[in-house]
Amino acid sequence: MWIADQWKDYEVIDTSAGEKLERWGDYLLVRPDPQVIWNTPKRAPGWRQPNAHYHRSKKGGGEWEFFDLPEQWEIRYGSLTFRLKPFSFKHTGLFPEQAANWDWFSEKIRAAGRPVKVLNLFAYTGGATLAAAAAGASVTHVDASKGMVGWAKENARVSGLADAPIRWIVDDCVKFVERELRRGNRYDAVIMDPPSYGRGPKGEIWKIEDAVYPLVQLSAKLLSSRPVFFLINSYTTGLAPSVLAYMLGTELKSLGGRVDAQEVGLPVSANGLALPCGASGRWEA
């Protein structure tokens, strides 16, 4: 498992009974987590006095219960700053476990010793975009949500990267890749974080089991003659790391290099164990 264990402003304090107790900067949140199938004693005091608690509904979805939480606040990871806020379906605007990947590809970008062009698909609020830009890459950030792209721009501004070479694109990721192929544009690295299910800006339906492999095939054609890495993330239950490795191995084997895939996770302070938080597949030259 690749574990994001370098955080100072974020911490999984404890997990039990389908929930996790987290520290996001100065604030404690209790949120549901489908991986937490164990029921252990909730001894950490934060369980009883969180700043907010997201309650999942048995009918699907859920809602926040707020006690003492601002509408927005910030946390840092190294030189990066992220603005957070609670919004629908339990999220805060950041997936801290992805820091394990940020550290990995940041080192690849720096070690390349040359300009590196990165394409970030399903780029959300820009965690990977900012990490790549901070490492010296030029980044094309693509997401179907105008609101998310705006949030990512704000994260870039507060991280001191407002003038970094980042191209912000609001578009359906598949259609953007198809257009880039027709234009003849190429990238040295590709990052993709596809949702299990979603809709594009014009109602395009995305279902990962049907759509992700064709997108990997298309995106592999965008790689330059000197590619550096290809990263794919998945939060879809049942899509094992070995599936990600197989897709990358199939499409990128002609380039040589190395493929690896693992679960990504976060350390749990209460017991020193690691909470699984999805999977990642990596190809590197």
Please provide the DSSP assignment of 148-195 as one string. HHHHHHHHHHHTT-TTSSEEEEES-HHHHHHHHHHHT--BSEEEE---
Alpha carbon distance 17, 277 (integer Å): 16
What range defines the domain where residue 58 resides? 2-71
Q: How confident is the model at residue 234 (pLDDT cuts 50, 70, 90)?
A: very high
DSSP bridge pairs for 16: 19
First-to-last alpha carbon distance for the chain, in angstroms, is: 21
Confidence at residue 210, expressed as pLDDT on a 0 to 100 scale: 83
Is the domain of 101 the same as that of 177? Answer: yes
Give yes or no for a contact between 92 and 10, defined as CB atoms under 8 angstroms apart: no
- Any domain includes 91: no
- Rounded CA-CA distance 39/243 in Å is 30
Q: What is the pLDDT of residues 54-69, one digit of tens each?
A: 999 888 889 999 999 9
Task: Please tell me the predicted confidence (pLDDT) of residue 63.
Answer: 95
Tokens of 32: 């549901």
Average pLDDT over residues 238-246: 92
15 and 140 co-located in one domain: no
Residues 257, 120 within the same domain = yes
36 and 120, same domain (yes or no): no
Mean pLDDT of 187-204: 84
DSSP 8-class letter at 268: B
> Are 111 and 62 contained in the same domain?
no
> What pLDDT is recorded for position 200?
66
Residues 6+ apart with CB under 8 A from 50: 21, 28, 29, 30, 67
Q: What is the mean pLDDT of residues 131-138?
A: 98
CATH number at residue 9: 2.60.40.1180
Whether 86 and 68 have beta carbons less than 8 Å apart is answered as: no
Number of domains in the chain: 2
